[in-house]
Structure 1
Amino acid sequence: MTSAVRDVPIGWRYGLLGLPLAFVALPLYVQLPSLYAREFGVPLGALGALLLLARLADAAFDPWVGIFVDRLFRRSPREVLAAGAAASAALALGFALLMLPPVRGTTPLLAWAALSLLVTYAAFSVLSVAHQSWGAMLGGDEAARGRIVASREGMGLIGVLLASALPAFAGLPATACVLAAGLAAGWWAWAASRRPVARVEAPMAADWFAPLRVRGFRRLLSIFMLNGIASAIPATLVLFFVRDRLQAPPAQEPLFLASYFLCAALSIPLWLKVVTRIGLARTWLAGMAVSIGVFVWAAALGAGDSAAFLVVCALSGVALGTDLALPSALLAGVIGEAGQRGRGEGQYFGWWNFATKMNLALAAGVALPSLAFAGYTPGSRSPQALDALALAYCVLPCVLKLAAATLLHFHWIRPGAAS
């Protein structure tokens, strides 16, 4: 039996939990700012500050989560799965509290959101770090690692597609119920997947900074962060751009989001074929180039350009496929090359998730207050405010992604750079 065939049952069982994890991530990072600003009237400046502080606290927590997960792996996979079950329950509860607040008024809403975010983020961190570490321990060559990560991210994209449409068509209570059911099914499938072969016999020291002493990890993390900020800013601002810059009707919003994530899901198998020819890093670089070209064009769009923006969503979704499937596969290779597979995946993925959340924190904490300073408020139609929105949504991400692509080329792809 070939490796590709063996990976299939492992992939869907291991990867299914990616569906509810991504399902909850879209409302948390894309829809939450719009919900609290538009529906509940929370000022953008106060909301941006809250999200920045909450996400910074969450990010700082992740390296500790990594150490905790490594200790669970040293005991047994059963301990990891038990912690995953508890985190799944807490995540479902925290999401419901956050999206269905029983209070109104700016101060009560901010306080409620802060407490709900802490519960939700903590549960999400434990569950995602444990799940990612499990996948990295399965090992394999570049193609096999790509398939394992792609199974998780492919399921995640299905979750994102559901999350992009379900709140609009079924409402937030139904969305919370679907999330709870998805977490239960995802945990069950994960528990039925293959246990990691690697055993933790000589664990890494419980040291926050141990992964940062690995040169290849430092370089990969810097590229990942720059690229992640470039993706997080549009994710934070997309609904504002659609409603105010494009002045598109609300009924079109699910179509934009669905086309973006559907094209990302469909592109992953194609990108994996490219990986077999040119490798993980060069394929990721190609995806960055596609994304830059698409977003430069999007800066010229204005009111009534919904059809053109749908093309932007589709093409940028194709580029997103590389961001989802390839960086984590590169990280698994870094861990193996450092001789630390089965010894410290939790610490590495703790820092990895720290970087992801720092990206999201900076996107919300910088972009939203900056737009407010530039005179933009939700519903604004002044040319100056809408130009500022277009620059923040389209141009700034291109600059950051170009910087990430430059680092990837000169510090990773160039022979000997990653050693």
Structure 2
Amino acid sequence: MATVIPIHSPLPAPAEPARARPAEQPARLSGWRLAAFSSFAVPVAAAQMPVGVYLPAIYAQHYGIPLATLGLLFLAERLWGAAADPVIGILSDRTRSRFGRRRPWIAAGGLLFGLSAIALFFPGDAVSAWSLGLTLFVFYLGWSMMQIPYLAWSGEISGQYHERTRIATYGTVAGSSALLLVLILPTIADQLRPGDGPLKLAAMGTVVLVTLAIALVLTLRAFPEAPAPATAPRPVPFAEALRVILRDRLLLRVMGSDFAVTFGQLVRSTLFVFFVSSYMGLQHWASGLFLLQFVFGIAAGPIWMKVALKFGKHRTAVLGEGLQVAINLGLLLVTPSAFPLLIALTVAQGLAQGSGNLMLRAIVADVADQHRLDTGVDRTALFFSVFSLTTKAGMAAAVGVALPLVAWLGFNPQGHNTPEALTGLLLVFALGPAIAHAVSAWLIHGFPIDEARHAEIRRALHARDAAPSSPAE
């Protein structure tokens, strides 16, 4: 048994690894390789918008599936996808093969995801609730099999503190670009053949399938996988895995902060069209303003990356969330006659958008390093699966809170609204995200793993990995 290195004791200088685990990647990763690796975010993000926004309406209008049935199907499949995430994370951490721990899962998940996407976006005429339910089951299984190992791999490409910020930034920009594309496609389809739901599905499905085929090749060849620990983590029951997560205070802080920032973003997104259409009385501007926000959101990724390289990830997250609070509070000053102010706040929202998500995603890998130092067990994929779970929970909670709340305040999306009802809509639209972003900043403020502390963690891990014997994992 190797000597255990106390967390806060003086740490030895880095030693040349004698065995399994390789030296760190070069200090600065190739931008071309990062772009290739991050291309995988394109098909995943390109599928996210259609599945969440367009598919239910098109399947109801064009294929006659009742709304209540669709609601139950999509709810059940989202719950299934959320439940699959930690299972896939645990299995990926335990996988040992000559292709690595992450590649086999990504390749197999990509196959399932692609086949089910064909059935989902090109359904033909014989569509039933049963066939849709089965397709969604396979679709979300493939999604989890791809995404969780991919996120874990993204945290393992480099052990360098700032390089992890670059990796997360490349993925965020790629995903935002894909979302922008699938926001534009339905608009173009409506101009060509108004009301043609199957055309919209086919256009978006084509983007998903083509980018998936390209991204799988690029991503799987972009970087080598680091060798896995010699011994796989032992199988643990669900209850024990839950205890591992609940005992890791750093992970809980990141999860809570991510839940809050996602909740705030989705409250705003859920009510955006209602706010512009009903409160501002500008229905024809709703889609355009939403698109404007996304355009500036893409440009914001590299800006926040440079800020993080100078000030660190958790400080940058706090700064970004603070700006979000100020921007959303500024919405309280918007009146139906103050359209220029709304445009300015929408641009500012786009520039601040994603700052918290980006930094928190990069921090998860640092937390996994600290956990491996403390316990001797590598649970990177499990930690990323839990991070994914809180994101999905935040999205679901935002819709579940925002819509009933504005309805309780008297807002009616289909009829006349009193001034009091419109004021209630404004308050929820502005204060809901402002409060959520403030909570996110509070949770991540003073986070103990900064660049210096992370360097100590990595030195300790290298020293332990280079020792004559290593603790059983």
TM-score (norm 2): 0.75
1:75 equivalent in alignment to 2:97: yes
| Separation of aligned partners in 2, 1:35 and 1:285 | 40
| Separation of aligned partners in 1, 2:208 and 2:430 | 31
3-state DSSP of counterpart to 1:138: coil
Q: Which of these residues, 168, 171, 184, is aligned with residue 149 of structure 1?
A: 168
User: For residue 227 of structure 1, what is the aligned residue in structure 2?
Assistant: 261
Report the CA distance between 1:44 and its aligned residue: 9.1
1:238 equivalent in alignment to 2:272: yes
| Separation of aligned partners in 2, 1:34 and 1:339 | 45
Q: Which of these residues, 195, 218, 224, is aligned with residue 224 of structure 2?
A: 195
Relative to structure 1, the CA distance from residue 301 to residue 118 in structure 2 (aligned partners, 3 Å threshold; closer, same or farther) is farther
Report the CA distance between 1:24 and its aligned residue: 1.6
User: For residue 417 of structure 2, what is the aligned residue in structure 1?
Assistant: 382
Once the two structures are superposed, what CA deviation does each residue of 1:333-375 show, in whole Å capped at 9, x if it has no partner? 1111222699322111111111111111212233334444544
| Separation of aligned partners in 2, 1:154 and 1:268 | 6
Q: How does 1:205-224 map onto structure 2 within 5 Å? A: 205-207=234-236, 208-209=241-242, 210-224=244-258
Q: How does 1:37-52 map onto structure 2 within 5 Å? A: 52=75
Report the CA distance between 1:50 and its aligned residue: 6.3
User: For residue 344 of structure 2, what is the aligned residue in structure 1?
Assistant: 311
Aligned partner letter, 1:142: Y
Report the CA distance between 1:266 and its aligned residue: 1.5
User: For residue 22 of structure 1, what is the aligned residue in structure 2?
Assistant: 45
Relative to total residues, which structure has the larger helix share, 1 or 2?
1
1:128 equivalent in alignment to 2:147: yes
User: For residue 367 of structure 1, what is the aligned residue in structure 2?
Assistant: 402
| Separation of aligned partners in 1, 2:275 and 2:41 | 28
| Separation of aligned partners in 2, 1:313 and 1:214 | 37
User: For residue 182 of structure 1, what is the aligned residue in structure 2?
Assistant: 211
Q: Are the counterparts in 2 of residues 198 and 342 from structure 1 also a CA contact under 8 Å? A: no
Report the CA distance between 1:18 and its aligned residue: 0.9
User: For residue 358 of structure 1, what is the aligned residue in structure 2?
Assistant: 393
User: For residue 33 of structure 2, what is the aligned residue in structure 1?
Assistant: 10
Once the two structures are superposed, what CA deviation does each residue of 1:385-414 show, in whole Å capped at 9, x if it has no partner? 433433333211211211121222256589
3-state DSSP of counterpart to 2:354: helix
Report the CA distance between 1:230 and its aligned residue: 1.5
Structure 1 gap segments, 5+ residues each:
none
Q: Which of these residues, 87, 104, 107, is aligned with residue 109 of structure 2?
A: 87
| Separation of aligned partners in 1, 2:253 and 2:422 | 36
Structure 2 gap segments, 5+ residues each:
1-24, 190-199, 458-473
Q: Are the counterparts in 2 of residues 45 and 372 from structure 1 also a CA contact under 8 Å? A: no
TM-score (norm 1): 0.84
1:348 equivalent in alignment to 2:371: no
Aligned partner letter, 1:395: L
Report the CA distance between 1:60 and its aligned residue: 2.4
User: For residue 309 of structure 2, what is the aligned residue in structure 1?
Assistant: 276
Report the CA distance between 1:27 and its aligned residue: 2.9
User: For residue 7 of structure 2, what is the aligned residue in structure 1?
Assistant: none
| Separation of aligned partners in 1, 2:121 and 2:309 | 42
Q: Find the structure with the greater CA-based Rg.
A: 2
Q: Which of these residues, 320, 323, 334, is aligned with residue 290 of structure 1?
A: 323
Identity of paired residues, percent?
24
3-state DSSP of counterpart to 1:295: helix
Once the two structures are superposed, what CA deviation does each residue of 1:53-78 show, in whole Å capped at 9, x if it has no partner? 54334322211121122233x22446
Aligned partner letter, 2:379: G
Q: Which of these residues, 434, 441, 445, is aligned with residue 405 of structure 1?
A: 441
3-state DSSP of counterpart to 2:144: helix
